[in-house]
Structure 1
Amino acid sequence: MDPRGFKEVSIEELLTPKKAFWKERHPNVWAFFCPFCRAERRLPYNPRPGRLKHYIQVGLTAIVFTCVTWKWFQFKGLVSFLPFWAIFEIFYRTRVRVALSCPHCGFDPYLYLSDVKKAREEIENYWRKKFVEKGIPYPEKDKTKAATASPDSSKVVSENPNLTETRTGR
C-alpha cells in the first residue's frame, strides 16, 4: 500500500472496465428496418401511447383545467381527463404515423396494412416526385413489351426437353 493512500492496480484491471462507459442517449428509441428498402429507422417514441409519463401529463392538464374552470365545474372538471386523453391519443398516433413513413422510399406501414394497392401507388407517387425534383423522366412500364418479352414458362418448358429432364431429375 502506498503511503499516500493509493491502491496498487494491475494493468488488466485498468483495461477491463467493470461497467460500460457508453450509455445510450435515448434508451426508449423504437428501432426497426424498413421492409421495403431495408433502411434502418429509429423513432424517438413508442408507437403506442400509455406510459406513466403520458398519464401524468394528461392528468396535470386535467387538474389545471379543473382549477381554471372551478367556478363552473368544481370537482366534475376532473372528468375532463377523458376528452383530454382522447385528444392526446389522436395527436400522438397521428405524429407516430407521419414519422413511420420511410423518408428513403415512401413506404407507409399503416397504409400497407389497410390497403396494399394504395400503398404501392403511394410509393410510386413518391418516386415520381423524386424523379421530377431531379429532372429525370420517370421510367414507365410498357405492358405490351412486358407481355411479349416474357413468354409463358410452361410453353418454354414443354418445348425444351432438356428443361423437363433437369426438373424431374431424370
Structure 2
Amino acid sequence: MKPADNIDTSQVKGNASPEVKLALLNSLAQPGNVSHSTGKPFRGFKAEFVSRMQLAEASVLSKAEEPNKLEGRTVFDVIVDEDMFNEVGTMHGGCLAMIIEICSPMPIYVLGASTGAYSTFGVQQALNIVFHSPAVPGDKLRIVCTTFTLGSRARSGRCEVWNVTRHRLVASAVYTNMVPTESSKL
C-alpha cells in the first residue's frame, strides 16, 4: 500500500468514516523510519509484511455483552508466502506475531478517532499469543482485531487469525497497548 490522497476507502467495509479508514491505510503505507544508527531510511521486514496486507474492514460496533459500550474492529487479509516459513514449511510463529503486533493497535485507533477520545496508535506493552494450527503457502489469513478497553493510557483487545482457506483458527492473542509519556519516547 502506498500513501495517497486518492485511495478509494469505499473498498474497505465497515462504518468507520472515510477519514479514519484513510488514516489507517496511510499509517500502513509509511515508507519506514530513519535508522538511529545510520541516519538513513530504514525499510525493514515490517514494511515488507505491511505491503502484503489488505485492510478489509474498519468499524465501531456496540459490544454484544455491553450494548451501551462501543468496540473498535478491524479486519485484515494476507496470503502466506514462502518467505514467511519456518524450517518445516509452515508459517513461522515470529512472522505471525509480527503481523498480530502490526494489526492489534488498529481497532484502538478506529475507536478512539471515531469517538473523539484519542487518535494515537500507541505502542505494545504486552502480547500473549496462543498458536492453534499451522498455515502453509497460499493460505489466505484473516486477522480480526477488536478492543476490550480504551483508557487514557492503557488500552487492550484481542486478535484472532483465521485461515480462510482451511476454515480453522491459526492463532489467538490478547494485548495491552499504551501511550508512552514524552520522556519515555527518547
TM range (shorter): under 0.3
TM-score, normalised to structure 2, is 0.25
Comparing both chains, which one has the higher relative contact order based on Cα–Cα distances under 8 Å and sequence gaps of 6 or more?
2
Structure having the larger proportion of residues in strand? 2
Structure having the larger proportion of residues in helix? 1
TM-score, normalised to structure 1, is 0.27
